[in-house]
Chain A
Amino acid sequence: MKGGKKDIGRAVKERLSDVHLSPKESVWDNIEKELDKKRKRRFLIWLFPAAGLLIFLAVFALWPEEQIPSQEGEPINTEHISSEEMQSIREKTTPADSDIVTDKDSPEESIMADKDPAAKNPQLISSSENRRTTGRSLSSKDRNAHKDDNSFKRDENPDTNATTDTQETAKKQKLTVVETEEKDSLVEKTPVKPGKKKRKPVAKAKEDVKKEEEKEEKFHITFYAAPTVLNPLTKRSILHENLDNNSQQNEIALSYGGYLKFNLSNKFGLRFGAGLLNLKTTTNNVAVLNEGGTPADILGLSISAVPGRNNAEIANFFNGNPVDLRQEIAYLEIPVEFYYLLINKKIKLDAIGGFGLLFLTENSIYAEGANGSLLLGEADNLSKASVSINLGVGLHYDISERIRFNLEPIFKYQIKARDNSPNTANLYSFGIYTGFSFKF
């Protein structure tokens, strides 16, 4: 039986009022995956510098004392060592030396070993502590290298072995072996005056070693990544003075790049390169001044709208509610920086100063509200090109002869970064530039 007439809209609404349907279970799985991705992205920004720092600390903590060139690398001038010191060196070095002797097949070497009472003494050979430490500093490669070397005969003398061990760890064999060859003969022939210690020749040799080291690394190629933050100490807006009282969130962005570094002298050098300096900031609760028009009309800010964007769509997005304005700025950066070596130890410390040429490559303003995110356009007050003054320090650690780890907190203050907005906050950034150098 037919009932009365109804508008189709109302009829459909009534019919659908009891509908019960559920989405597939995979929908939540996908949401969860996306949420995890976002977390990972946030985590990755910190991962690179944190991993670098961790490697750096691990290498620092685990590096065996015996292999530290700056402490052990100096050749021992036996001519000026007292008999007590000599005895001490014998005790420390003999087991490892004996270890080496037993590896040799040459009869000549065996004879040399026989002459050495310490080498015959099995107790000394198994002296675990010394064997571990000194034995480790001589790799099998090193030993083979010495097989063909005439100077090796002399190494079997415990006194001279102390010298060659330390020389090897200093990686300056040529320089020190020649010296010790001379000194070894003197140990046998010249009576040592007790208590007489001359350190000058040691210092001289050390300087020579340093010079050798410095000569090796004429220039470096460095790659870096850096968590960078815009205006970390400023509460003011870079967009408009009227927004100074709004809270600002300066988010951490990831910058990256590379540079070439030239050593101009032992302590002084120059570097230049190219990189991308990324900066992000959000201004919260920006009030809507007009219901319609361009983003500039609605917010009363200097914003160039995205070409072709429908004003009604923008007005609909705002819907009269305050929004958060997120600014994403990126510069192509060409830094030219000088550095001065302040501390030249296991960890090197540089003072860094210079300037950077900055070319604006991204300048986007997004509105973020309950309806999601909408690209509004570009900030009108940023210069296309500017210059930055860069100041910082660099911590460096040589992981190997060719690879260096760098950790450089650098402050960059921009000059002429803004056009036509003298009352807005100036731009500066702070970043921890972390990376690796390859020496050539």
Chain B
Amino acid sequence: MNLEDLIKKCRNNDRKAQERLYLLYKDALFILCLKYCRNIEEAEDNLQDAFLIILKNIKKYKGKGSFEGWLKRITINRAIDRYKKQPHNQVLDERFPETEDTMIEEGEMNLSMNKLLELIQGLPDRYRLVFSLYELDNYQHSEIARMLSISEGTSKSNLHRAKILLKKQIKEQESDLKKKSMQS
């Protein structure tokens, strides 16, 4: 069955087709959720909510543009809504000086992928959202500003701050790893 047929069947609320669609995209969308959420549990919740929105609105997908892109947009928007709705985690309009270096030696990135994901998830919501949108999913600052209801300047400074925090944490993790390996 090709994708068009699958979408058509999902539009008709065919449960088997809906499950097949889920199986087809669950991993890609789950990784996306992991990058935007605070932990695995919230990522799974986000995936569940996003898929319900997708299945409810699949009639609105008119076949223009990439279907996967459409799925990803909904999943990201759902994650943004999740953290925007929580007042104490709202993205704040603030600026930081862009002085500190955000470059890293290639050899310093020896962390496991799971550990790296954990570090991203540990960033404050406002930094994690901007970092993931800009660095991992190629959104422009103007788009991020509109999505998060902040200014472009704030988006840039939040990204910079996110990178500094991430670099600091990666270095700490790397030095811990080195100490452990030297001890052993």
Contact = CB atoms under 8 A, between A and B. Distances in A.
A11 interface: yes
Contact of B52 (A7, A34, A316, A370): A34
A18 B135 CA distance: 16
A9 B102 contact: yes
Contact of A23 (B44, B146, B167): B44
Given A9-B131, A370-B74, A16 B113 contact: yes
A2 B30 contact: no
B73 interface: yes
B25 to A, nearest CB: 11
A32 B136 CA distance: 30
Contact of B135 (A3, A9, A22, A369): A9
A201 to B, nearest CB: 65
A139 interface: no
B6 interface: no
Interface string A341-377: 0000000000000000000000000001111100000
B135 A2 contact: no
A111 interface: no
User: Number of contact residues on A: which range applies?
Assistant: 35 or more
Interface string A1-22: 1111111111111011011111
A328 B86 CA distance: 26
Contacts of A7: 102-104, 163
A233 interface: no
Given A8-B163, A35-B52, A372-B53, A3 B170 contact: no
Contact of B103 (A6, A12, A315, A369): A6
Contact of B35 (A3, A16, A22): A16
Interface of A: 1-13, 15-16, 18-24, 27-28, 30-32, 34-35, 38-39, 310, 312-313, 315-316, 319, 324, 368-372
17 contacts: A2-B106, A6-B103, A6-B105, A8-B163, A8-B167, A9-B136, A12-B109, A12-B135, A19-B117, A27-B26, A27-B47, A27-B51, A28-B19, A31-B48, A35-B15, A35-B52, A313-B149
Given A27-B44, A313-B149, 19 more contacts: A2-B108, A7-B163, A8-B167, A9-B102, A15-B109, A18-B113, A20-B31, A23-B30, A23-B47, A27-B47, A31-B51, A31-B55, A34-B48, A312-B146, A316-B147, A316-B149, A369-B57, A370-B61, A370-B70
